Chains A and B, each alone.
Chain A
Amino acid sequence: MERPAWAPRSIDISVPSVSRIYDYYLGGSHNFEVDREAARRAMEFLPGLPKISQANRAFMRRAVRYAVAEGVTQFLDIGSGIPTFGSAHEVARAASPAARVVYVDHDPVAVAHSEAVLADNDDADVVAADLCKPQEILHSLQVTRLIDLDRPVALLLVAVLHFVEDADDPYAAVAELGAALAPGSLLVLTHASYEGIPMPTERAEGAVDVYKDIRNPLIMRSRDEIGRFFEGYDMVEPGLVPMPRWRPDTAPEDEDPWALSGFAGVGRRP
Chain B
Amino acid sequence: MTAEPDGPEGRLRRFATIWSRAVYPVTSTSLTRPELEERLLPLARRLRGALLERGFDAEAGKDVGADLVDAHCTDPDALSHSLDCVDAYLVLYCGEDGPQEDLRIRASRLQHAMAAGFARALRERTLAEQEAISQAALRAQGVVAQALHASEARFRAVFEGAAIGIGIADLDGNVLQINGALLRMFGGSEQTLRGRRVQDLTHPEDAPQTWKLYDELVRGEREHYHTEKAFSRPDGTVLWTNLTVSLLRDADGEPQYTLALMEDTTERRLLNLRLRYEATHDALTGLPNRTLFFERLEKVLGAGEGKRFGLCYLDLDGFKTINDSLGHAAGDRLLVEVADRLQSCATAPGEMVARLGGDEFVALTTGPDTRHEVDELAARIMNALVAPVSIDGRELTVRGSIGIVEGPAGERSAAEVLRSADITMYRAKSAGGNRFELADPEADARAITRHGLTTALPAALERGEFFIEYQPLVHLGDGSVRGAEALVRWLHPQHGVLGPDRFIPLAERTGLIVPLGRWVLEESVRQAGEWRERTGDTDPLRINVNLSPCQLTHPGLVQDTVDILERAGVRPEALCLEVTESALIGADDDLLKPLRRLAEMGVDIALDDFGTGYSNLANLRRLPVSVLKLDRSFTQGMQQFPADPVDLKIVEGIVSLAHSLDLAVTVEGVETGAQAEQLRILGCDTAQGWYYARPGPPDRLHELALVDATG
Contacts and interface: CB of A to CB of B under 8 A. Distances in A.
A234 B148 CA distance: 45
A87 to B, nearest CB: 10
Interface stretch (A51-59, A161-169, A210-218, A220-228): A51-59
Interface stretch (B30-38, B88-96, B678-686): B30-38
Contact of B147 (A8, A28, A57, A256): A8
A27 B27 CA distance: 8
Interface string A109-126: 111110110000000000
Contacts, number: 92
Contacts of A113: 132-133, 135-136
A82 interface: yes
Given A29-B129, A85-B30, A109-B137, A11 B144 contact: yes
Contact of B25 (A110, A116, A256): A256
Given A7-B151, A116-B132, A109 B28 contact: no
A6 B137 contact: no
Contacts of B126: 29
Contacts of B328: none
Given A54-B28, A249-B32, A254-B33, A27 B144 contact: no
B144 A9 contact: yes
A86 interface: yes
Contacts of B125: 29
A175 B132 CA distance: 36
Interface in B118-167: 125-126, 129-130, 132-133, 135-137, 139-141, 143-144, 147-148, 151, 154
Contacts of B32: 58, 249-250, 254
Interface in A31-61: 31-32, 50, 53-54, 57-58, 60-61
Contacts of B151: 6-8
A112 B24 contact: no
A86 B30 contact: yes
Contacts of A9: 144
B133 A86 contact: no
B157 to A, nearest CB: 12
Nearest to A12: B141
A25 interface: yes
Interface residues of A, number: 38
A61 B34 CA distance: 15
B74 interface: yes
B133 A30 contact: yes
Given A250-B32, A250-B34, A108 B148 contact: no
Interface in A143-163: none
B136 A109 contact: yes
A157 B154 CA distance: 36
A89 interface: no
- Count chain A CB atoms within 10 A of each CB in B72, B130, B136, B147 and give the residue with the most: B136
A11 B136 CA distance: 12
B133 A82 contact: yes
Contact of B30 (A13, A58, A256): A58
B399 to A, nearest CB: 73
Q: Size band of the B side of the interface?
A: 20 to 34
B254 interface: no
A20 interface: yes
B29 A85 contact: yes
B129 A85 contact: no
Nearest to A87: B30
B481 to A, nearest CB: 100
- Count chain A CB atoms within 10 A of each CB in B35, B140, B144 and give the residue with the most: B140
Contact of A27 (B28, B136, B141, B154): B28
B75 interface: yes
Contacts of A108: 140, 143-144
A11 B133 contact: no
Nearest to B130: A29
Contact of A11 (B24, B28, B34, B137): B137
Nearest to A28: B129
B29 A54 contact: yes
A250 B20 CA distance: 14
B140 A112 contact: yes
B140 A111 contact: yes
B274 to A, nearest CB: 40
A116 B135 contact: yes
Contacts of B141: 11, 13
A115 B35 CA distance: 29
B234 to A, nearest CB: 35
Contacts of A61: 30
Contacts of A30: 129-130, 132-133, 136
Contact of A254 (B24, B137, B147): B24
B293 to A, nearest CB: 50
Interface in B43-98: 72, 74-75
Contacts of A32: 133, 137
A87 B463 CA distance: 95
A53 B140 contact: no
A61 B30 CA distance: 7
A86 B135 contact: no
B111 to A, nearest CB: 22
A30 B656 CA distance: 140
A90 to B, nearest CB: 10
A10 B133 contact: no
A8 B524 CA distance: 98
Contacts of A85: 29-30, 72
A116 B136 contact: yes
A249 B31 CA distance: 10
A254 B509 CA distance: 113
A26 interface: yes
A57 B148 CA distance: 36
B144 A60 contact: no
Contacts of A6: 151, 154
9 contacts: A8-B147, A8-B151, A31-B133, A54-B30, A57-B28, A58-B30, A85-B29, A86-B72, A112-B137
**A-B pairs with lowest CB-CB distance, top 7:** A8-B147, A113-B136, A29-B129, A108-B140, A57-B30, A86-B30, A112-B136
Interface of A: 6-11, 13, 20, 25-32, 50, 53-54, 57-58, 60-61, 82, 85-86, 108-113, 115-116, 249-250, 254, 256
Interface of B: 24-25, 27-35, 72, 74-75, 125-126, 129-130, 132-133, 135-137, 139-141, 143-144, 147-148, 151, 154
